[in-house]
Amino acid sequence: MFTTNPFAVLTDFLSPLAMQIYVVLMALAVVAGTLFDMVHKGSAKFFAQHRDESEARAQRRLGGGEKVSLAIATIAEAAVSGEFCKWPRRLSHLLTMYGFLLYVITTVVMIFAYPARDSAPPILPMLWTVGALMILAGGLWFFFFLRVNVSHDGASPFHLGQADLFIGSLLASAAFALIWDFMQTTYGHSIPTWIVFGAYIFFTTLLFVSVPWSKFAHMFFKPAVAFQRKLEEANGSSDLPGPAAENYIVRS
């Protein structure tokens, strides 16, 4: 645990190729799911229509350089989870988001680059563990305290609904990943270890395969729309009023 690549240990029973194929399949599932969402639900068509309507209302043309800098600003804002207006939500999202990135990237690197036992530098499994812990810290905080139906709408913290498909499967994947790593380290390839490994694979698969029904794809849609909004503000087609020129609060 912590310093040993758990996937390399798994090669006693599963070939690295099998694991690599699984990773590629999950990546394809996300792509396919997102495309399915966009095409079948028509969200791509909606977005294109909206973009055309706002371009027709544009009061000035934006240069290529301007668009690039707005795109960078959008990415920068997403990188610091700036779209969240309340700090607990923002903080928990940062934890969960960067935890997820760490967890996924180290998984892919360990499976593709270091399949042989003891070949991975200890930093990789350490970061993998940290990533999973960050997901749990941010995600559990969010799940029990910050979900808006719980914090504002009277739902029980244990309430589960379709909206929780993404966060639920993500939390389960990370939790079972850590438990499996611990069990594999402590009890080797025993039945209980296999059971936990099964749960880990089940929830991880669910996470990536449920994209058409979960909020996973919104991680792509939201920045796209945020970029579109920035364009509209810049080219004058936004239907929101601009900031007021005057300050009316005169007395101290």
Partner 1 sequence: MPTYTDMTRCDGCGDCVDICPSDIMHIDPVYRRSYNIEPNFCWECYSCVKACEQHAIDVRGYADFAPLGHKVRVLREAKKGSISWKIRYRDGRIKEFTFPIRTTPWGSIKAAQEYENPDLRALGSPLLAHEPEALHVAALPTIKKA
Partner 2 sequence: MTRRTKFVDSDILIVGGGFGGCGAAYESRYWGRDLKIVLIEKANVERSGAVAHGLSAINCYMGMQWGENQPEDFVRYARGDLMGLVREDLVYDIARHVDSTVHKFEEWGLPIMKNPNGRYMREGKWQIMIHGESYKPIVAEAARKSATEVYNRVMVTHLLTDKTRPNRIAGAVGFNVRNGDFYVFRAKVVIVGAGGGSHIYRPRAVGEGMGRTWYAPWSTASAYGLIIPTGAIMTQMENKIVLTRFKDGYGPVGAWFLLLKSQATNAAGEHYEKDRYPEIKARVGHYVDIVPMPTCLRNHAMLEEIKAGKGPIYMHTQKVLDTKEKEEIGWEDFLDMTVGQAVVWASQNIEPKEKPSELITSEPYIMGSHATCSGAWASGPEDCAPAEYQWGYNRMTTVEGLFGAGDTIGGSAHKFSAGSFTEGRIAGKAAVRYILDRKNESPQVDDDYVESLKQAVFKPLETYRVGRNEFVAGTVSPNFITPLQGLQRLEKIMDEYVGGYSMFYVTSENLLNRGLELLRMLQEDFEHVGAENLHQLQRAWELQHRILTGEAVAQHTLYRKETRWPGYYYRGDYPKLDDSQWHCFTGSQYNTKTREWKMSKLPVHRLIEGFELLQA
Q: What is the 3-state secondary structure (H, E, C) of 71-138?
A: HHHHHHHHHCCCCCCCHHHHHHHHHHHHHHHHHHHHHHHHHHHCCCCCCCCCHHHHHHHHHHHHHHHH
Expressed in percent and rounded to 5, the helix, strand and coil fractions of the chain are 70, 0, 30
- Residue 154 found at the interface with partner 2 (CB under 8 A): yes
Measure the CA–CA gap between 99 and 118, rounded to whole angstroms.
Answer: 24
52 interface partner picked from partner 2, partner 1, none, CB below 5 to 8 A per type: none
Q: Which of 94, 218, 219, 234 is in the footprint of partner 1 by CB under 8 A?
A: 218
From the list 10-18, 20-28, 94-102, 146-154, the region that binds partner 2 by CB under 8 A is 146-154
Backbone angles phi, psi at 2, to 5 degrees: 65, -50
Which residues make Cβ contacts (< 8 Å) with residue 8, sequence separation at least 6?
A: 110, 114, 115, 116, 117, 118, 119, 120
Residue 55 touches partner 1, criterion: CB under 8 A: no
- Which member of 66, 117, 222, 234 binds partner 1 (CB under 8 A)? 222
Least CB distance to partner 1 at residue 63 (A):
25
**Could you tell which of partner 1, partner 2, none binds residue 59, using a CB distance below 5 to 8 A set by kind?**
none
Of 61 and 152, CB closest to partner 2: 152
| Site pattern 68..87 for partner 1 (x: CB under 8 A) | ---------------xxxx-
Nearest to 222 by CA among 81, 15, 107: 81
- 230 belongs to the binding site for partner 1 (CB under 8 A): no
Question: For residues 194 and 221, which CB has a smaller minimum distance to partner 1 in the complex?
Answer: 221
Contact between 64 and partner 2 (CB under 8 A)? Answer: no
